[in-house]
Structure 1
């Protein structure tokens, strides 16, 4: 019981932290007018953020449901939540499939708008990468704000 409550609190804080950092707002960029400066995260990171919403949100709802409807045996959970797990998986897969062309369209929009790449702010690494584009070179900063960059 304590483990489930801890999981729910962790997931709520985790998803809330991601939302507070503005990472979820990057998912809406393809559907909004471009700002003077645009930060494009990599395709893989964009898809991972998009997939996190239904996957982590669905798992959190399942655990909340388990808190209010406990079962006596672990095999009862497997039977009760098999179809729910499949639905979460299909919804997550659908979100991933929609995220790919959305991120592609965002890159296309930036290219068509004639934005310039802010080379010193862009970051390429194995763990995370992004590119920053601006309407003009004067809007670019001298550094990415990360140590060594």
Structure 2
């Protein structure tokens, strides 16, 4: 029995220093945790904006358009950041230029800051509402307009 006790004691003695062999940089660990939380929050905040008839806001090209909703389609998943910008999967922001909703490099511009109000409208800081143009069909352009209660300005 003595050799078994000696073997156990030897294993404990050699394993004990290994427990303290790794020293943690607490600041680095804290930064990693914060970054991890940010990634989780962004993943949880991704959402589709549905215009109706199974059509969603899509960021495929230079302009925002309506396309058949597909929650697995990255170009239809939008996140809202701390600057109240709607950010497409490729990192571009939804903005307004030349009377159209377009995808732009993110900036501090008011036309890129959006709120989803209690009427389910997307309203920018210039008090313009996002709406689809013409008929509710795939490929319809999305444009800014004076805010009203029209169904074309509702984004579920």
Fold shared per TM-score above 0.5:
no
| TM-score category, normalised to shorter length | under 0.3
The structure with the largest strand share of the pair is 2
Higher helix share: 1
Structure of greater relative contact order (alpha carbons < 8 Å, 6+ residues apart): 1
TM-score of the superposition, structure 1-length normalised? 0.25
TM-score between both structures, scaled by the size of structure 2: 0.24
Return the index of the structure with the highest Cα Rg: 2
